[in-house]
Structure 1
Amino acid sequence: MSTIMDKLYKRVEERGVVCVGLDTSIDYVPEHIKNERSEEDAIFMFNKQIIDETVGVAACFKVQIAYYEAMGISGMMAYTRTLKYLREKNAIIIADIKRGDIAATAKMYAKAHFTGDFEADFITLSPYMGMDSIEPYLPYLEGGEKGIFSLVRTSNKGAEDIEYLDTTSGDKVYHIVGDKLMSIGEKLISKCGYHPLGGVIGCTHVEEGKALRERFKSMFFLIPGYGAQGGKAEDVAMYLNNGNGGVVNSSRGILLAYQKENRPTEFAKCAREEVIRMRDEIRMAVDKL
């Protein structure tokens, strides 16, 4: 049986590693889209055109819920419509929700984001409350149709505050977190060689890239930090396995590509061009390894 991990692996093989981040603020939307439209319609129209232009050249899409929650009910309607449209286009969806709670609360989060109006293929979680904050999501993973990307070692400077603390074993905290996720995931390995408990592994600490890829061999990576946070294509390449085993997220770099060239009426075409540029740059870096 083909799983969601097999599907994502194949998409990366076919289309490259780029994950389009739909972290859409109303401020990003060109005026000609906003004119005579509600904020909900403007956000959805912007997302729709970005999706139409990039779906054939991107591995997946990550929709950051905070941008939509900040707009209230209308924002959440735009969020729901965006998820529905992505499903219609047979796109792979990562809902970036970063939940991290336990017991009945976590069960409700799992139900909310793996079924119904907010359904996605993958969701992001924060495991730093403990592995029992992950457990309520596992029943959805057993059928192979859903997956998780759990925070392991993030790209922000504040990662050093907790994730980089030493443990009695000599490992960092993030090593232990990754190991525990691997222990759970090894029981759910797909044909492609990866399990559905992926890890969020930032590419901004380049010196650790090869060691992390070796340590977490069967963990698929969601890789932030490329571009604005300083991560380069050659950095990203070290977190991949021969160009696969991970997806690289870019949000503003893609959504706002039109601003660099002052082409607001061609914002979606500019987004496509940026995805292709980013994809090809990373492929070239992988080939040089």
Structure 2
Amino acid sequence: MIADKLFKQVEEKGHVCLGLDTDYSYLPAGFAEKFDSAGEAIYNFNKEIIDATWDVVACYKVQIAYYEALGLEGLKAYADTLKYIKEKGSVSIADIKRGDIAKTAEMYAAAHFTGDFEADFVTLNAYMGINDSIEPFLKYVKENDKGIFVLVRTSNKGARDFQFIKDKNGVTLYETVGERLEAMAQENTGKFGFSSIGAVVGATNNEEGASLRNKMKSVFLLIPGYGAQGGKAEDIAVYLINGNGAVVNSSRGILLAYTKEENGHNDFAMCARREAIRMRDDILSHIKEA
């Protein structure tokens, strides 16, 4: 089960999920000039980052929008990046945030769990309903060892527009989604007690986080919001169960670590490695204190 593999990755390498949300502008000066296209340059940048970090991060999250923006050459870089993550034996999360119905959802599932864009996990939006938007992906979870992370409570400011709306019993929309996911996850748990049916939960409020985690004990968490969005290492402990069950994403903070070091552009991959290790150790130190 892919959730078991991710659990072991966290156990052995820490909680860092490295976001390969690679904008062309992130590339060091002069790097792109070595390649024939922007897509090729981005892939080779990603490749060097992966080579330098695969043993100190739990997984990689690849945000498809950065690649779609470059057209066909960008999508090739996206596909090649996912393939390289697999070659390195790591876990990939395709950050696609799909959320459609019926046959369309089936096609999205096939597109991102098989073929050129195959990933281990995908991110999904359940706004159009669990049965319509999520169910078509579960076939791959059960039969093809794949996983999903469904948006529950995100870390952006606009999250309060809808996610915090309460029903007549005072239960928020995000809590309702979380409870539905937990019910589904309990039917599909691995040997470590976590399911390949996971949730995206932002690292922004410890009290809400603790309450939500108490309701979702079988769900593996993908936690955005660390660093650039204000999330801190001390916010992470409440989302963990015996120190595991979640990965914490950082994208710009690691990819652009070289900009904070003198002559870092000459050694951007090792700068990324040092930042990933710093983040990993920062999270671990707060878990031990909790």
Please classify the TM superposition score into its range, dividing by the shorter chain length: over 0.9
Map 1:224-243; keep pairs closer than 5 Å: 224-243=224-243
Q: Is the 8 A contact 1:33 1:45 kept in 2?
A: no
What displacement does 1:264 show?
0.3
Which position in structure 1 is the counterpart of 2:272?
A: 271
What secondary structure does 1:112 align onto?
Answer: helix
CA distance in 1 between partners of 2:191 and 2:143 (Å): 14
Map 1:45-60; keep pairs closer than 5 Å: 45-60=44-59
What displacement does 1:14 show?
0.2
Structure 1: which 5+ residue stretches go unaligned? Answer: none
What secondary structure does 1:228 align onto?
Answer: coil
> Size of the alignment, in residue pairs?
287
Select between 208-217 and 87-96 the one with higher mean Cα deviation. Answer: 208-217
> What amino acid sits opposite 1:130 in the alignment?
G
Post-superposition CA distance 1:169-203 (Å, at most 9, x none)? 22100000011111122111111101111000001
Which position in structure 2 is the counterpart of 1:88?
A: 87
Which of 27, 30, 36 in structure 1 is aligned with 2:28? 30
What secondary structure does 1:187 align onto?
Answer: coil
Which position in structure 1 is the counterpart of 2:66?
A: 67
What displacement does 1:211 show?
1.2
Which position in structure 2 is the counterpart of 1:286?
A: 287
Which position in structure 2 is the counterpart of 1:255?
A: 255
Identity %: 58
CA distance in 1 between partners of 2:32 and 2:160 (Å): 41
> What amino acid sits opposite 1:256 in the alignment?
L
Structure 2: which 5+ residue stretches go unaligned? Answer: none
What displacement does 1:243 show?
2.1
What displacement does 1:206 show?
2.4
What secondary structure does 2:10 align onto?
Answer: helix
Match status 1:246 vs 2:234: no
CA distance in 1 between partners of 2:180 and 2:4 (Å): 22
Q: Is the 8 A contact 1:226 1:236 kept in 2?
A: no
Map 1:205-220; keep pairs closer than 5 Å: 205-220=205-220
> What amino acid sits opposite 2:18 in the alignment?
V
Map 1:103-182; keep pairs closer than 5 Å: 103-131=102-130, 132-143=132-143, 145-182=145-182
What displacement does 1:207 show?
2.4
Select between 260-269 and 277-286 the one with higher mean Cα deviation. Answer: 260-269
CA distance in 2 between partners of 1:107 and 1:155 (Å): 28
Post-superposition CA distance 1:122-171 (Å, at most 9, x none)? 00000011112101111111136100000000001111010000112221
Q: Is the 8 A contact 1:155 1:205 kept in 2?
A: no
> What amino acid sits opposite 1:169 in the alignment?
N
CA distance in 1 between partners of 2:57 and 2:144 (Å): 22
CA distance in 2 between partners of 1:171 and 1:165 (Å): 8
> What amino acid sits opposite 1:157 in the alignment?
K
Q: Is the 8 A contact 1:242 1:286 kept in 2?
A: no
> What amino acid sits opposite 2:156 in the alignment?
N
TM-score (normalizing by structure 2): 0.97
Q: Is the 8 A contact 1:32 1:265 kept in 2?
A: no
Q: Which stretches of structure 1, 4 residues or more, deviate above 6 A after TM superposition? A: none
What secondary structure does 1:158 align onto?
Answer: helix
> What amino acid sits opposite 2:266 in the alignment?
T
Post-superposition CA distance 1:66-118 (Å, at most 9, x none)? 00000111100111111111111111000000000010000000000000000
Q: What RMSD in Å do the two structures reach over aligned CA positions?
A: 0.9
Select between 60-69 and 187-196 the one with higher mean Cα deviation. Answer: 187-196
Which position in structure 1 is the counterpart of 2:11?
A: 13
Select between 27-36 and 131-140 the one with higher mean Cα deviation. Answer: 27-36
Which position in structure 2 is the counterpart of 1:4?
A: 2
Select between 84-93 and 48-57 the one with higher mean Cα deviation. Answer: 84-93
CA distance in 1 between partners of 2:169 and 2:139 (Å): 31
CA distance in 2 between partners of 1:191 and 1:5 (Å): 9
CA distance in 2 between partners of 1:288 and 1:135 (Å): 39
TM-score (normalizing by structure 1): 0.97
